[in-house]
Amino acid sequence: LQQYEISAFCKEGFESRHNTGYWTGRFFFGMGPSAFSYFGNRRFRNIANLSRYCKLQEAGVSAIDFEEALSVEDRRKELLALALRLRKGVDLDAFQQRFGMLQEETLSALTSLCEQGLLVQKSGSIALSPKGVLFYDTLASELI
């Protein structure tokens, strides 16, 4: 088995498309109580109570009880941190073409994380080092 993500292993070519979608910024809609959704710059969650959720759905009323709009920069930083979960790392040029240029603050944080040995640079990409895998939560909080 190969490790393709911090907490996931698979046979070659059998990576979870579901989980990989989260780490690559794919939009998703969650159905049912407590389900989260992410679309555009919005993240929202349905209410947790099953009975209330069903009643609202039957009445044609939204069951969303939490919603937030992410700024462009917050979305960019969050997606960078999530993409770093993948062992292949992040191609910075491709990332910036898709999500826009990284701000100086984020670039400085990436440089610092490389200097601390948490990230490694390889031919235009950055990826977690073995130490970075162990301290991913700390690393992600520095980026976000």
CATH, residue 116? 1.10.10.920
11-45 pLDDT per residue, tens: 999 999 999 999 999 999 999 999 999 999 999 99
Q: Show which of 37, 69, 101 is a domain's final residue.
A: 69
Per the structure, the count of domains in the chain is 2
Q: Say yes or no: 84 and 22 in one domain.
A: no
Q: Say yes or no: 85 and 47 in one domain.
A: no
Q: Say yes or no: 44 and 99 in one domain.
A: no
Q: Say yes or no: 85 and 114 in one domain.
A: yes
Q: Say yes or no: 8 and 41 in one domain.
A: yes
- pLDDT band of residue 124 (cuts 50, 70, 90) is confident
Q: Residues 5-21, buried b or exposed e (16+ Cβ, 10 A)?
A: bbebeeeeeebeeeeee
Q: Say yes or no: 61 and 26 in one domain.
A: yes
Q: Say yes or no: 8 and 62 in one domain.
A: yes
pTM of the prediction? 0.84
Q: Say yes or no: 95 and 43 in one domain.
A: no
pLDDT of residue 129: 97
The residue whose two tokens read 């235009």 is 124
Q: Say yes or no: 50 and 79 in one domain.
A: no
Q: What are the residue ranges of helices labelled H in the chain? A: 17-23, 50-58, 72-83, 92-99, 104-115, 130-134, 136-143
78-98 pLDDT per residue, tens: 999 999 999 999 999 999 998
pLDDT of residue 69: 97
Q: Show which of 22, 51, 69 is a domain's final residue.
A: 69
Instruction: Give me the residues paired with residue 121 across strands.
Output: 126
Q: Say yes or no: 46 and 93 in one domain.
A: no
Residue-range definition of the domain harbouring residue 133: 72-143
Q: Show which of 45, 69, 93 is a domain's final residue.
A: 69
